[in-house]
Amino acid sequence: MYLPRVKIKESQIDGKGVFALENIPKGTIVWKYKPGYDLTYTSDEYEKMNAEEKAILVRSAYLSPWTDLWICPPPDDPAHYTNHSNSNNISVKYDESVSSEPYFIANRNILTNEEITNNYYDFDRITQETRPDWTNKDTV
C-alpha cells in the first residue's frame, strides 16, 4: 500500500505509472505491505491458477524471496502500475520489526509529479530468475 498520496497517469516508461502528489523526502517509507489489504498467495495456490490468472499475477505481483509468498495489490490499487527502472527512486528494505514483507523507502527526494519506480530485480524472485528483457531504454 502506498503511504504518500499518489496518482496513476501515463508513463514514458511503460503504459501507466504511479506519480507522487506531494514531495517525498529521502528515507520516507513509500510502500508497505498491509496484511488484510494486500493479497497473498502460496506457491501451491499459484500452481492451481489458470493461465490468465497466472499472467495477471506475474505482471502485477512479486514472489517474495523472504517468505516465498506471492504478494499482490488488490484490484484498482496504484501499486499495479509501479514501473521498473534501473535508476529507481524507491529501494527495498526488509526489517521484520517494520513489516513481515519487504517495504520501500525513497532513496532520494522525490518531487511532486515525479514517477515512482523500483527495481524489480531487488525484490521479485521470479524477475531475479528470469531477467526479462524490457525494451525501454531506462530499464535495460
Residue 140, domain member (yes or no): no
Task: Answer yes or no: is 42 within a domain.
Answer: yes
Q: Letter for the amino acid at 133?
A: D
Q: Which pLDDT tens digit goes with each residue over 43-87?
A: 999 999 999 998 888 888 888 888 889 999 998 899 989 988 889
Q: How many domains does the chain have?
A: 1
Look up the domain containing 105 and give its range. 6-130
Nearest-5° Cα angle at 2, 24 to 100: 115
Output the pTM of the full model: 0.82
Residue 114: the pLDDT is 98
- Confidence band (pLDDT; 50, 70, 90) for 128? low
Percent of the chain with pLDDT over 70: 89
User: Which CATH number characterizes residue 35's domain?
Assistant: 2.170.270.10
